[in-house]
Amino acid sequence: MKPARSLALAAVTSIVLLAGSAFSANAWDSGGDPPKPAPPTEPGVVAPQSAHPQYRGDSVSIPAGAFSFVHVNCPAGMVPTGGGGQTSSVLTFVTDSLPSPTGWTVGVKNTDSGQSNTASAWVVCTAA
């Protein structure tokens, strides 16, 4: 009789724990998050007040189904210390993100079969 009672208690405990974790996950992502700020749309300096300014490159068109590299350079006398990229569609993915001697390069794959999308790279620079 005791093994059956222990098994039943374990089952009830598991259900309560799973229900609690589902509630916690739903409470965590209730959809009431504040909206994200819009990304910058103009190329150039993104964070001019920063000790290490960020520079955003031009948006580049990535044809449907294509892979391409997007690059942005640091100004003369500066070197890259970090960077990244962004795309215009959830169907366009950043696949690579790496420094170059003069800036930052991002590899981008457009998996959209019907239209081209855009991507841009950004770089954080510091004095050489």
pLDDT tens digit string along 24-81?
Answer: 444 444 455 555 555 555 556 555 556 788 899 999 999 999 999 999 999 999 999 9
CA-atom Rg of the chain in angstroms: 24
Q: Under a CB-based contact definition with an 8 Å cutoff, are residues 124 and 99 in contact? A: no
DSSP reduced 3-state for 67: strand
Higher pLDDT: 50 or 111? It is 111
Please give the sequence-ordered ranges of beta strands (E in DSSP) within the chain, or none if there are none.
Answer: 44-45, 54-56, 60-62, 67-73, 78-87, 92-99, 103-110, 117-127
Nearest-angstrom CA–CA distance, 68 and 15: 49
**What does the alpha-carbon distance between residue 93 and residue 80 come to, in Å, rounded to a whole number?**
22
What is the Cα–Cα distance from 41 to 44, expressed in whole angstroms? Answer: 9
Which residues does residue 69 pair with via DSSP β-bridges, in sequence order?
A: 107
